[in-house]
Chains A and B, each alone.
Chain A
Amino acid sequence: DAKTTQPPSMDCAEGRAANLPCNHSTISGNEYVYWYRQIHSQGPQYIIHGLKNNETNEMASLIITEDRKSSTLILPHATLRDTAVYYCIVRDYGSSNTGKLIFGQGTTLQVKP
């Protein structure tokens, strides 16, 4: 699976949009981009995933660049409860993929009042 690079930490004001970047310049054509988050030692929680089109769900939006070498997770109206470590993960969807996720260090997002 391709490696991802994320900033170690970011701040965001409550009520504002949080934009979390991820670089995955070695991503291949059969790899998806996944985002998970972990709130204070709880189990990681799935947020969203995408292949090449932008995706949106009730939690967030995922913007993937046309060349797929980077992506941005957008939390449109961050709240204090969004303070967490956010992980960007690239995963192959082929038959060689067993489904496991390999986590990097992630970005610690601090939402401030």
Chain B
Amino acid sequence: DSGVTQTPKHLITATGQRVTLRCSPRSGDLSVYWYQQSLDQGLQFLIQYYNGEERAKGNILERFSAQQFPDLHSELNLSSLELGDSALYFCASSPAGTGLTGELFFGEGSRLTVL
């Protein structure tokens, strides 16, 4: 158990819909990272938040957005869903936001299926 909690574990929805994935980081960790893993793309970094502010952005689509709340949990919002958005979405956390931040602790992921 990494200490990172993601909900829901599985989600099935239809094209055009909107979903929200939730992540609770390890106690005390200030950074939250979101990754997408689809069959043909591997693990893709989407976005990072540190203590409520966006710290780094990767290959995140404009239809996707994220935020980190004062209690440090984070949500990834996916809208206007397409078939290609079907993937595993991982959240990770770490104590810091710059420099040698040590290891990232990953949750078990949320599996999104878009039909």
Contact = CB atoms under 8 A, between A and B. Distances in A.
Given A43-B90, A43-B109, A44-B90, A98 B97 contact: yes
Interface of B: 2, 4, 31, 33, 35, 37, 42-45, 48, 50, 55-56, 58, 88, 90, 92, 94, 96-101, 103-109
Given A43-B106, A44-B106, A99-B31, A93 B45 contact: no
Q: How many A residues are at the interface, by size bracket?
A: 20 to 34
The interface residues of chain B, by DSSP majority, are classed as: strand
Given A42-B108, A43-B4, A99 B98 contact: yes
B58 A100 contact: yes
Given A43-B4, A93-B99, A98 B108 contact: no
A19 to B, nearest CB: 22
Given A43-B90, A44-B43, A99 B101 contact: yes
Given A41-B88, A99-B33, A103-B43, 20 more contacts: A38-B43, A41-B37, A41-B109, A43-B2, A43-B107, A45-B2, A45-B106, A46-B104, A95-B98, A96-B98, A98-B97, A99-B48, A99-B55, A99-B99, A99-B104, A100-B56, A101-B33, A101-B104, A103-B35, A103-B45
